[in-house]
Structure 1
Amino acid sequence: MTSQERIIQLLFRLLDGESINFRAEARDYGCSERTMTRDQAVIADALVHETEFEMGYKPKTRQHYLDREDQISQAEALALIKLVIGTRALSRAEMQRLTHHLLNMLSLKTQKAVKKTIATTMAAYIPVGDDHKILPQLAKFSDYIIEKQAIKFSYQSSVPQNTHPKFQVGRPLSLYFADYYFYVVMYLEASNKSVVFRLDRFDQVKSLNRQLTVPADKKTDEGALRHKTYLLNGGYELHYRFQYWGYPQTALDKLPKSEVTHRHDDGSVTIEGDLFSQGALLWVLGQGSLIKVLAPQTLINDVQATLQKTLAYYD
């Protein structure tokens, strides 16, 4: 190994967060302690005009290390890590790697403070699903979107009547995250419509190495779609009107673009907005006796039928 190769290797080890006793490394590198001390001086000199890094020294262990200025604030790092932990969307390994990358953007002092704050949460981290890796899939679909690629895929549906995957052809249009999962807005060639799929449920995926043109009216607005989605985006789009006896802001936070249109004398409010029918039904059923559907009649019928079916289980 040449001196240049040795110095580069030592520098990379320091950049990776390792603390090095240069004299103790002499035996492993097959050179004298004086040579290793000279290597340390070369690295230190190279960092003199480097504002991001500075070399530190631990007298007790005679180790040198690289410290850096915070690239993001302690609060920003903590917020990002806590947010990602809260989503539970990544596998444990992906969560740990992402946290490591964020911590590397901080000084050693700040890293220590953040690690102490997140230690308990990290130890108790449980991802949704079966701890599968989602980042490779995310990267792959991101490339499909950028390159406007048509893909052939099979998909594990959550609908009981459609549990067997079948191959379809489509083009991924956009990605978004909501309620623990990443979603793909996909234009389907055969049905000439855009549909939302959950990213982790794609089974076999193959690029067809061709671009697929999407009609302008089928390019779904991701933002508008999210405003009309609560957990499920199936069924038909509807304009709802609820009478709600809970804390109004709780409903408004869960139902984007909703608004209070009337306040009643008993403390309840009327809330209106737009949702897909499956998500609307799911949210209403989760509110128990705090809600009454005023419109549309189709949703009222769905709620009544579901409640009657549920009550029948207890006969």
Structure 2
Amino acid sequence: MEGSKQERMLEIFFRGLRGEDISIQKLAVQYGVSTKSISRTINDIKAFLADHRELVGNTELQYSHRDKCYRLRMDEFLTNQELFALIEVVIGARAFSKEELLLLTSKLKAFTTTDDRAKLSELIRKELYHYTAVKHDCESVQDMLWQLVRCITEKREITVEYFRSDRAHTVHRLRPASVMFTDFYFYLIAFGTDGDTEKPLYFRVDRIKHLTVHRRKFTTDDAPAFDEGLLRQRSLFMWPGKLRTIRFAYTGVSVQAVLDKLPTARVIDRIGRTHIVEAEVYGEGIVMWLLSQGPWIKVLEPQDFVETVKEKLTETLSQYTETTV
């Protein structure tokens, strides 16, 4: 009898963890006991939570007089608003396969109440139905990410079989340093084991076909230390290249959108409706973004970068002046 009481208490507690409404009347019918027995079990749970706050934190069973049921409340739980925002971000990122996404959203929804779970499911139903993931070369982005994270923390050298953007198959031996996410893709940032070992290299995680983990470990002397946060601010476009400070004039409708896109950007001057913006950026990917802004942006400095942008514009214009396709 004592064992069944303990099992019942654990079952009711875990029902609360899953977001279920705890109704004394309904549970009494399900377990075939009196409502007084269920009330005593709930009181035991409440007493345990109150006596072990150092272990469970601010966790309690709260009674809803309107719905006539108990609900488990934990500070560590995500709220429904937080869950909805998180799921929307995961869907919008398009970084996972549809199967991985469905599993993730299913697990996240388990932390909501039964009623809220139905509302949340209805809100995202059409988005999940029409969801299209980016094409992956690896079997599972999540599994590949976790393997890379383990190699980074254990400082183990790896060899990756990789498909470049032109679909050429390449093999690289690397010292992995960090993993970052931007614009639909996860990226591995690593350093080579030969050649220029000080230069960071970028690899899309979903293009890693195979990963081999070596026994050989590396130290901070073998791979240069760097600030991941600062690198993220400067390397939004994950293209290799040198660090440079650029200036450009912006005449578009929202300079705030520019500042949001380039975390290192700041407005250093304003002439009428024209904002003069300065930013520190790595690589050549910034060129493509600047060109995507059309006539709203004019690059001012440095001069060699101005010439690079001019060349790209000339090449683009030639596509429309040639008579043959």
Same fold judged by TM-score > 0.5? yes
Q: Which residue of 1 aligns with 2:185?
A: 181
Give the letter aligned to residue 174 of structure 2: G
**1:106 shift after superposition:** 1.5
Deviation at residue 276 of structure 1 after TM alignment: 2.1
Q: 1:91 to 1:77 in 2, by over 3 A?
A: same
Q: Could you list the runs of 5+ residues in structure 2 that have no partner in the other structure?
A: 21-30, 47-58, 62-69
Instruction: Report the CA distance shift for 1:172/1:289 in structure 2 as closer, same or farther (over 3 A).
Output: same
Match of 2:186, as an amino acid?
F
Q: 2:44 aligns with which of 49, 52, 55?
A: 49
Which residue identity does 2:150 align to in structure 1? D
Identity %: 28
1:25 aligns with: none
Q: What's 2:249 paired with?
A: 243
Distance of 2:97 and 2:40 partners within structure 1: 41
2 CA distance for matches of 1:109 and 1:153?
A: 46
Choose the corresponding residue for 1:172, options 167, 170, 176. Answer: 176
> 1:232–1:184: structure 2 CA closer, same or farther, 3 Å change rule?
closer
User: SS where residue 96 of structure 2 aligns?
Assistant: coil
After TM superposition, the structure 1 stretch with the greater mean CA deviation from structure 2, 66-75 or 221-230, is 66-75
1:294 aligns with 2:289: no
**Aligned with residue 214 of structure 2, among 185, 208, 211:** 208
Q: Distance in 2 between matches of 1:104 and 1:50?
A: 21
In the alignment, what sits opposite 1:63? Answer: none
In structure 1, how many angstroms separate the alpha carbons of the residues matched to 2:136 and 2:161? 19
Distance 1:212 1:184 in 2: 17
For residue 164 of structure 1, report the CA deviation from its aligned partner: 2.9
Report the Cα distance in structure 2 between the residues aligned to 1:257 and 1:17, rounded to whole angstroms: 42
The root-mean-square deviation of aligned C-alpha atoms, in Å, is 3.4
1:78 alignment partner, one of 74, 77, 84: 84
Structure 1 residue 221 displacement after superposition? 1.5
Q: CA separation of 1:299/1:79 partners in 2, compared to 1, >3 Å: closer, same or farther? A: same
Question: How far is the alpha carbon of 1:168 from its aligned partner?
Answer: 2.2
1:122 to 125, 128, 131: 128
How far off is 1:47 after superposition? Answer: 6.6
Offset of residue 195 of structure 1:
1.8
Matching residue within 269, 278, 297 for 1:262:
269
**Shift in Å, 1:165:** 2.9
| CA distance 1:90–1:47, shift in 2 (3 Å) | farther
Instruction: Say which SS state the counterpart of residue 84 (structure 2) adopts.
Output: helix
Once residues 19 and 78 of structure 2 are traced to their aligned partners in structure 1, the CA distance between those partners, rounded to angstroms, is 17
Tell me the number of residue pairs that the alignment of Structure 1 and Structure 2 aligns.
282
- What letter corresponds to residue 81 of structure 1 in structure 2? I
